[in-house]
Structure 1
């Protein structure tokens, strides 16, 4: 799944949560995203900035669903998860036995294969702690880190009702 497909499928509340986090914690990223997305649409950023916050968020979400905005969409997801959801990332890496820096950033190479039993146990644990839709977004993003994703994780994302994006 590509980032624009993820934004098409995800619950808008998750996008709102992400954008709220950027506005509260890293306004420069929010402004840069608005400017980049507006530029991609041949608009001036002021066009978006004059809208109400709800309208800005709706416009950003709608724009992130477009294939040409895939790169900025993926960067926004990664920045949000790496800075705003470090405990989720670290707990996933711990559960999967993936070496990381203590904040969820993988140290070294990603695993070539994922152990199914360990994946199931880790997801069960995380689903009890984190909002399932947020967990699903993270797992989809993690699965984007290798071409075609890991078959075990792809199957889990397709079959586990808790991991539906919307």
Structure 2
């Protein structure tokens, strides 16, 4: 799935959670994202900023659901996971045997293949500790890191009922 497809499929509450995290922890990223999205629609940032927050979030989500927002949408998801969900990323990397910096940022190469049994165990670990919708979104974003994704991960996302986006 591409980023815009993820935004179309994901529970809007997760997008609200992400946007709230940026507003609370890194307003510059939030402002920059809204500004970039506004420019794609030929709008001024101030026009969006004048809206009440729920309307801003609804507009951001609607805009992220378009193909033209794929790049900014993927970057937002990556930044949120890398800065706001480090513990979960580290657990996943540990379970998969992927070298990382202790915060979930991969330090070596990504694996060429993913072992199905190892992935099953990693998913079980994550789903036991985190909201399954958040885990699913993360795994979809992780799958974007390989040009065609990983077949094993793609199959797991499609077949595991716990990993539904909405």
TM over 0.5: yes
Deviation (angstroms), 1:45: 0.6
**Does residue 116 in structure 1 map to residue 116 in structure 2?**
yes
Provide the rounded CA distance (Å) in 2 between the counterparts of 1:28 and 1:45. 13
Say what the alpha-carbon RMSD is for the aligned residues. 0.5
Deviation (angstroms), 1:129: 0.2
Deviation (angstroms), 1:114: 0.5
TM-score computed with the length of structure 1 as normaliser = 0.99
Q: Kindly report which structure 2 residues correspond to 1:10-159, keeping only aligned pairs within 5 A, or say none.
A: 10-159=10-159
Deviation (angstroms), 1:100: 0.3
Provide the rounded CA distance (Å) in 1 between the counterparts of 2:147 and 2:162. 24
Provide the rounded CA distance (Å) in 1 between the counterparts of 2:162 and 2:51. 34
Deviation (angstroms), 1:47: 1.1
Provide the rounded CA distance (Å) in 2 between the counterparts of 1:127 and 1:25. 25
CA contact (8 A) 2:18 2:80 kept: yes
- In structure 2, list runs of 5 or more residues that go unmatched: none
TM-score computed with the length of structure 2 as normaliser = 0.99
Provide the rounded CA distance (Å) in 1 between the counterparts of 2:110 and 2:44. 39
Describe the superposition over 1:22-75 as per-residue Cα deviations: whole angstroms up to 9, x where unpaired.
Answer: 000000000001100000110001111011100000000000000011000000
Provide the rounded CA distance (Å) in 2 between the counterparts of 1:60 and 1:95. 34
- In structure 1, list runs of 5 or more residues that go unmatched: none
